[in-house]
Structure 1
């Protein structure tokens, strides 16, 4: 039976923030029309009581309502940019600066190359997770979240980490790398071990054992039947992209490869039927394991 892993608040399950307004163009236009119709001249007489579709005043209001929608959307975007759940790019970098967590550089830039090569940075999702875990790192009692945070921050090559105590006084830390199938090299494990052995991180009573993730290879093979239409190649390319996205998102410690998840990834618009050939059942992944997809093979049409 798989043990429960430490997890921070699931940001995707938070209710939408009230500060983000639900925009409705028709409501904005109706408010402006009401204001225009209520306008009166010096004699107290309403002068915009018989507007028609071709009236220039109405056209001006439609343009104004559209512009107001753009402004309100910009306000929404600004509000989201300072929320951990929604911030991306450099906005997320500034949120990370508050607890002192910098984005990892996975590969340095090479401006001398031809063409120049940009730096490869930690993804927003991975960086967001470390920011969320950073408060755990302030604890000196050795909580699970603290070990995970410090291990994730030990080196750019660390992709995922799990920590648990198999026995009193022992902390087992499993490390997965962000290269290839996720198997960490000896140097990366040594770097994490050194980081977690620091007296400012590890309680004196803990013995930390850093270990490599166990990689579970698997293959996706499926046969698809398509609805009639001229865009079969486009549908097939989209299905393949969604399957590869599924593989990428589940290349984590303890992430099961479920049959239901695979069907959801493969059964896209334009697909009439999916016959999943491999795997034939859900692959249960333990907390010290990571699944690695070695191939995505999508076949077309009925079986011969």
Structure 2
């Protein structure tokens, strides 16, 4: 009996007046854009959503059209306009980092027309912390005060994807396996890893790291459907080892995902320092037994920086 059968049974016990719509809670958002839903006491994975339900997030209270295959109609709660405005502003500020604001750029064989011009005796240039060009004009004499220098900008965020990933059991790599943790079959506990070469440390070289986040997706068909925690560790391998995947610092339970769900975890400050310096090279998972058995894909790390 699958989740749809359980839900159909629950519906059959309801009165006609309660069959049409009901409130439910989003457990997770999946990589397909559907949601895992807690409705009438049952966890139902991969529930379809109407186009009216946007910016889907775990924990949302939603209204659901019931049936053997339910559909989420819309989110309940406050108007998300304020959140949308903040997101748009953040995107605009990020895009503006690629622009250099000069109101006019003209030339000719004689001096410039009009008043207020100052002649440059020496021109200086360098790169700022974001790698953008900066100009400084040295004047023989100044007839007007200099405009304020703009605030130092932080370097743009960098996204680092794994070069490889895999799973290990009893000290040996498993062919073609996504990273997994625990033991579902009784044949031995698994550990998994994501490998980035030296890309993380290279991306952080000469910069001040403010934050590192990592995205994962819970693989379907791995363990129970309910949320399980990822038992995350660091490791010090630039590529997948032929023998045991030795674990570093951990475990940290930064993320809990139900089947098919995607999520983003923020790495602890000590972990981002280790990855930025190269004293750690990648991420791993490991657990014992079947209760938290699961496999995961993804592993894309986003690194944000602060101004030096």
Indicate whether the TM-score tops 0.5.
no
Q: TM-score, normalised by structure 2?
A: 0.24
Higher strand share: 2
Q: Per residue, is there more helix in 1 or in 2? A: 1
